A and B are shown apart, each in its own frame.
Chain A
Amino acid sequence: MCAPVLPGLSRLVVLPALLLAPGYAFLRLLGQAAGMRSISLAVPVSLVIVICASLLRDVSGIRLSPLSLGLLLGVVTALFLAGSYGRQPVADDCAPILGYVADSEHDEAAFVAREVDRLADEGEATPGEVAVFYRTNAQSRAFEEVFIRSGRPYVIVGGVRFYERREVRICWPICG
């Protein structure tokens, strides 16, 4: 039976570090740490590292004292952390910028509407999380028509809706 290596309160620090640090460092090395909720992956990955290290130690026959094993894990963790320090997380999950050539402005608006639908159906975004940018106010009309016809909620930011503009409200009953 091994004697206790760490007395008293220091266990409270070492134990979480043991369970978290190697996994977190490994994930940082893989560039995955930014995209995940770290604890829930770092713990199982730490377990994996501990299991693999124990097996390696057992198979290779290298006899390490508990203190040496702890120090080794600490050094490896520190190296991983040092190696990955300052690296910006890669935005792995971002879709590429997509070009779409439309035949008309209504075709363009219909494409955007379909995209909003697709994102909502796949749970990737709600309509409230989608923004449509256009260069001039006049370009909003096609989008508004498509959105209104398909019952899709929208808000014009920094402008007035086409059908709420004064001149349109005046002309609408005449044209209607």
Chain B
Amino acid sequence: MTRLTDAPVPKAGIRASPGLLREDSPSGVPRVPSRPLAELLAAGLVAAGAALVVLAYRIAPTARIQSYDPIFWAGMLLAYLAVAWRALSGRYAVFWLGLFGLFTLLPTFWISPDGPSGFDEIAQFALLRNVISAGRLFQHTPLLPIGTYYPGLQSAAATIHWLTGLSPWDSALTLIAVVHCLLPVQVYYIARALPVPHRWAAAAGLVYAASPSFVYFDAQFSYESVAILLLLTIIRLYVEALAAERSGGRTWRQSLSAPLLIAVICFALVVTHHLTSLAGIALLLAGALFLKPISGLADRKGGWRRLFVRWMPALTLAMCLGLWIVFVAPTTVSYLFPHVSGTASDIVALVTRSKASSGSARTLFSGSGAPSYERAASIAAPVIVAVAFLFAVIRWLQKPPLRSNFLWSFVIAAGYLVSLPLTVTSDGAQSAHRSWAFTSVGVALLPAALVTLFALDKRRPWLRRTAAAVGAAALAVVFVGNVAVDAPPDTRFPGPYQFGSDTLSITPETLRFAHWVEAHLGPGAHVVTDRFTAEALTANADAVTPITGPGLPISNIWYGSRPPAPALMSAMEYLGDDYLAIDVRDARYTTTGPALFYLGEPSRVPLQNITRLARWPWLRLLYSSQHYRLYKIDFHLYDSWYRSHANGH
């Protein structure tokens, strides 16, 4: 650390370098000159970017992808680079990061401005409507049974609805808008607390905004979206508390406020989302282990207090989650276990190169229709991150005392890199996708680590300019690649009907069917159907659509060679599942994305299993259109029919 060497005596009269004046104090306003014209120009560029994105969405339903996809990317990149310019060069980084968070809501909003779209959003919105209509939390939707026990999202959106009179969907949008714009801002403050200078903390926020799940997945009305903000807030408070401890001289009273606030937020996080809580425990444990220990001139007293501040948040979060699972949501274990075990077996198969799991392998971009530049960027993005990671880690190993807080970010970023091979597996891909919102916190700090460890901001001007140009190009490629990975074009834009798509499977015929169901059966009708018809009926007819499971194997109606068993029918009768809705296209096409009923199901429904329904007397046809059939189930008739016909099958 010390530079007290026999260095040559510099010329007298040396003055502070002008470059130093651009630095800032972690506790103060950045000492960057204010340039109102530049800010206005950037605002204009962001507005132009927004106009281009909206234009792309307006022409997408009728145009070819070659015409609207470049417009979309032009708008996104224009806004992203304009925000990057002002966030890195100007004084108002927090404002620009928040504005970009709002900007990135545009695509999700324009997919479906009037209501939810996609499985998660439809399920969560169904829960919200149930909460609002019942006036109580812990409501149920068969689309997402586990959501019953994690009502944080619904309670916040319902409160906005109750207090303001906004419609449920407007309340949901308001909540997500506020939450989403704060995500990169919190990453900025996490970086500032590490500590990282102003402009590189802004770079961290920008890189986080380019993370794979930020633009689409985390912008949905879903419990992750709110939970991630709570988690980032916890991490921010934690890092700030550790920094305050490092400065020394604190008392127990001063040190208690941060853990107390963190504990309250931990509780809210736990009641909002299970997976984010688990990820939070991992991040806080990593922080307790790898964030910089007390050093320098800090006082040597108060060891117990520092231990408390360091470990208490992780323990509090773990305790809250454990108690919640034990006493309120025990089904969380059975809900998460298949995903965890599937991911674990995928990892084992990858490591051992086993062919046994070849059935669960997937091909990247299969059937997505992504243009070549998106595919190239999708491959280049993790490569850029990996190269940056390697450079930073190697340099850090050469200079471990310098900025040792970066070790924490390296550990988290390593989690992102480790998850990448899982994208070629079935279960693992979903787990990897879910983890990116958390591991991207580590990735976001890589630019700051590179700049600090290589002292790039103290190099010659031409080298700084070259590094800035390379950095901007890399940032743009990472942004395009990550967004393309998160949402391929067929899920990113409205367009012609596509079987097996959460966002493109709703047609005017589907909406007519849903409105008929709502008008004739009323809200809350129990309809047994496949995933995509269930989404449409739940979102547009307020229907209750059970999902298949061991206790209710409704998929046997579609896939079983024999008629449904009496046990299944008894369960359906007990639950009040009186109606059966069929999409005849289930037997014509195969899904390339989400499953009709469950992962690993047969590739296609046998056609005779659809046509046989018309011959069963216990099904009474209520509605018929080109592709949809709706039957009323007569359970008494089924009993007598099954007794007399079972042997014949």
Does residue A6 face the partner (Cβ distance < 8 Å to B)?
yes
Report Cα–Cα, A164/B244, bound state, in Å.
41
Which label, helix, strand, loop or mixed, suits the secondary structure of the A interface? helix
Contacts of B27 in A (CB 8 A): 93
Does residue A171 face the partner (Cβ distance < 8 Å to B)?
no
Interface residues of B in 248-269 (CB under 8 A from A): 248-250, 254, 257-258, 260-261, 264-265, 267-268
- CB distance A150 to B182 under 8 Å? no
Report Cα–Cα, A47/B196, bound state, in Å.
28
- CB distance B7 to A150 under 8 Å? yes
Interface residues of B in 1-26 (CB under 8 A from A): 1-7, 9-10, 12-17, 20-21, 23, 25-26
Q: How many residues of A contact B (CB 8 A)?
A: 73
Report Cα–Cα, A23/B5, bound state, in Å.
52
Residue of A nearest to B401 (CB): A121
Report Cα–Cα, A52/B186, bound state, in Å.
22
Does residue B226 face the partner (Cβ distance < 8 Å to A)?
yes
- CB distance A6 to B164 under 8 Å? yes
Does residue A108 face the partner (Cβ distance < 8 Å to B)?
no
Contacts of B182 in A (CB 8 A): 40, 43-44
Do A5 and B3 contact each other (CB < 8 Å), given the known contacts A44-B230, A52-B267? no
Residue of B nearest to A12 (CB): B164
Contacts of B243 in A (CB 8 A): 93
- CB distance A18 to B1 under 8 Å? no
- CB distance A92 to B402 under 8 Å? no
- CB distance A45 to B159 under 8 Å? no
Do A11 and B4 contact each other (CB < 8 Å), given the known contacts A96-B299, A164-B13? no
- CB distance B189 to A37 under 8 Å? yes
A80 to chain B, nearest CB (A): 14
Does residue A7 face the partner (Cβ distance < 8 Å to B)?
yes
- CB distance A115 to B165 under 8 Å? no
- CB distance B160 to A15 under 8 Å? yes
Most chain A CB atoms below 10 A, which of B5, B15, B155, B229: B155
Does residue A102 face the partner (Cβ distance < 8 Å to B)?
no
Contact with B along A124-154 (1 / 0, CB 8 A): 1111110000000000000000101111111
- CB distance B268 to A151 under 8 Å? no
Residue of B nearest to A16 (CB): B178
Contacts of B2 in A (CB 8 A): 110, 113-114, 117, 150
Closest 3 interchain pairs by CB? A4-B165, A54-B155, A96-B249
A-B contact pairs, 26 of them (CB 8 A): A2-B161, A11-B165, A26-B261, A27-B261, A32-B261, A36-B240, A41-B236, A43-B229, A47-B179, A48-B265, A50-B156, A54-B156, A55-B151, A55-B271, A92-B254, A95-B247, A113-B2, A113-B3, A113-B4, A114-B2, A117-B2, A124-B25, A127-B20, A149-B7, A150-B3, A164-B12
